[in-house]
Structure 1
Amino acid sequence: MIEIEVVYGLPHKQVLLSLPVPKGSTIEESIKLSGIIGHFPEIIPGEATVGIFSRPEKLDTIVKAGDRIEIYRPLTADPKEMRKLRAAKMAKK
């Protein structure tokens, strides 16, 4: 077994869970084992966008001891579109 952390947050609630997982576990398996879905039922383990220490990773990535799996929320706005809107607004000034 190895120790890892799984973290997810909303503006009003954040949860960080430390847990042991079998060596060779994937990110997706670790998310399921963590029980974080009990705190945030909207998380779909097989579809989640994830990373380890702010580095994007795939769900089938094998975790290592000490890893912190971060589950990312969907974007509420497309960053490229927002930049275009800001640029257009500045051009009008």
Structure 2
Amino acid sequence: MQVTLVYSPAPREVFEQALTLPAHATARDAVLASALPTRFPLLDWAALAVGVWGRAVEWEQALYEGDRVELCRPLTVDPKVARRERFRRQGARATGLFAKRREGGKAGY
């Protein structure tokens, strides 16, 4: 079966490899069959979160034809904190659904 393994070691940098695995292979098997351990020897890939098509799974998750196995780095900033900081920098008038108004239009339209 064909699967794709994806890992991003840094922002705007992607390691992607297409793999041919036997039936009933797991996410762990996909990493071991790839060039990831040799390309990034210092990476503790077993400590990373693993997902299939953006959904978190266990390392022993069985894979299916065409799956995309994704290794996820830990978050460096809490998304809620980042959103609050962005809002604070932009101000209340520059954010939200109705931030862009027509010339002469009413607020909220």
Q: TM-score range by the shorter chain?
A: 0.7 to 0.9
More strand by share: 1
Q: Deviations over 1:32-73 (max 9, x none)?
A: 111212223343243220111111111110011110101111
Aligned to 2:77: 77
Give the TM-score normalised by structure 2: 0.66
Residues 16/86 of structure 1: CA separation in 2 closer, same or farther (3 Å cut): closer
Query: Which residue does 1:39 correspond to in 2?
Result: 39
The letter of the residue matching 2:6 is V
Aligned residue pairs total 90
Partner of 1:65: 65
Q: Quick one: which amino acid aligns to residue 7 of structure 2? A: Y
CA–CA separation in structure 1 for the residues paired with 2:81 and 2:74: 15
Q: Provide the residue aligned with 1:3 in structure 2.
A: 2
The one-letter amino acid paired with 1:30 is A
Question: TM-score scaled to structure 1, two decimals?
Answer: 0.76
The structural deviation recorded for 1:82 is 4.1
Share of identical aligned residues, percent? 28
User: Does the residue aligned with 1:43 lie in a helix, a strand or coil?
Assistant: coil
Cα distance between partner residues in 2 of 1:79 and 1:58: 23
| Structure of higher RCO (CA pairs closer than 8 Å, 6+ residues apart) | 1
Letter in 1 for 2:41: P
RMSD value, Cα = 2.4
Distance change (3 Å), C-alpha of 1:85 and 1:13: closer
Query: Partner of 1:46: helix, strand, or coil?
Result: helix
Q: Distance in 2 between matches of 1:85 and 1:11?
A: 20
Q: Mind listing any 5+ residue stretches in structure 2 that lack a counterpart?
A: 90-109
Note the residue ranges of structure 1 that are not aligned, 5 or more in a row. none
Structure showing greater Rg: 2
